[in-house]
Amino acid sequence: MLPRKLKFQPQPVDDPDDPRVADFFRLNDPELRRAVERPDGGGGAGDGFFVAEGALVIRQLLRSRYPVRAVLVTDQGLAALDDELAGIEAPVYRVSQALMTRVTGFHFHRGALASAERRPHPDLATVVDGADLVLMAEGVTDNENLGSLFRNAAAFGVGGVVLDATSADPLYRRSVRVSMGQVLRLPFTRTDSAVDAIVRLQALGFQVLALTPSATADDVRTVARRPGQVLLVGAEGPGLSEAALRAADRRLRIAMSGEVDSLNVATAAAVALHHLARPL
């Protein structure tokens, strides 16, 4: 139900092919989205846009460093975001639930979508400056796992996130949603080489701790907390590359009982980050 009196008047849209809502066309088509959002193409890492969904995540977006391009809402979304949307400069478009489904390509029920400009990736040294604890990912290609890693990082006081070139796009819609919008708050960057990034972090005074299920690794509980630590994680299945494991200062494992020899990467990272986190 809408507020009795809106604080602004959104622009009505009644045509699914209206170019004003082109940012939100066919959100269920990954190939199209990569082509139009250009996460790593065009004129550079900052030349493109991304889409955030749901009132909770859009509130995070409105407080972030990312400039909003457009907002698309149903009556449900408008009721939830009226106060926040009243003062923004970007256009707000109002559609019916049926039209929202036709624009996005699926039954989107969260009521609100927003598109925002990407920003150039900052330098690695800038991202980790002043951070006691950093999270680094190599080859994490699953969007939900990556979003969960950002949510865990925020929960345990991580100051910055470093991704290698093969990891998924943290600003992909599903990653942003699963992170509960934390990917919009935490500073992050992407590097061409995980090993080069490890070497740079070590030169900046960080201790790089590689998480692995290997039985020869040290129990994570044996590591003393100190400022300037990096938790390095890899994808489920293949794990970290041998080159990254060799470059790290120390290899850590999470002790487990029974027949299970490994955990989901986000779960494993949460366990390790909880141990490494400074008192919160």
Asked if 102 and 16 touch (Cβ cutoff 8 Å), the reply is yes
> Given the DSSP bridges, would you call strands 112-117 and 68-73 parallel, antiparallel or unpaired?
antiparallel
CATH 3.40.50.720 describes domain 11-117: no
CATH 3.40.1280.10 domain range(s) in the chain? 124-276
* 3-state percent helix, strand, coil for the chain, nearest multiple of 5: 35, 20, 45
CATH 3.30.1330.30 domain range(s) in the chain? 11-117
What does pLDDT average to in each consecutive run of 10 residues of the chain (280 residues)?
Answer: 60 96 95 84 63 96 96 95 89 97 94 96 96 98 97 97 96 96 97 97 98 93 95 91 97 86 90 88
Would you state the pLDDT for residue 8? 67
Amino acid making up residue 149:
L
Amino acid making up residue 13:
V
Residue in this structure with the two tokens 């080489």, named with its chain if needed? 193
Q: What is the pTM of this model?
A: 0.92
Strands across the sheet containing 68-73: 11-12, 92-94, 68-73, 112-117, 49-53
Distance from CA of residue 238 to its chain's centroid?
22
User: Residue 237: left if φ>0, alpha if ψ -120 to 50, beta else—which one?
Assistant: left
Under 8 Å CB-to-CB from 232, ≥6 apart: which residues?
A: 136, 137, 138, 194, 198, 208, 209, 210, 211, 240, 244, 248
Would you state the pLDDT for residue 42? 41
DSSP 8-class letter at 136: E
> Of 215, 211, 218, 222, which Cα lies nearest the Cα of 248?
211
Under 8 Å CB-to-CB from 68, ≥6 apart: which residues?
A: 61, 62, 88, 89, 90, 114, 115, 116
Distance of alpha carbon 181 from alpha carbon 168, whole angstroms: 16
Measured from the Cβ of residue 224, the count of other Cβ atoms closer than 10 Å reads 6
Would you state the pLDDT for residue 40? 61
Q: At what angle do helices 143-155 and 265-276 cross, to 10 degrees?
A: 10
Task: Return the CATH superfamily for domain 124-276.
Answer: SPOUT methyltransferase, trefoil knot domain (3.40.1280.10)
Would you state the pLDDT for residue 148? 98
Measured from the Cβ of residue 3, the count of other Cβ atoms closer than 10 Å reads 11
Measured from the Cβ of residue 273, the count of other Cβ atoms closer than 10 Å reads 23
Would you state the pLDDT for residue 4? 45
User: Residue 10: left if φ>0, alpha if ψ -120 to 50, beta else—which one?
Assistant: beta
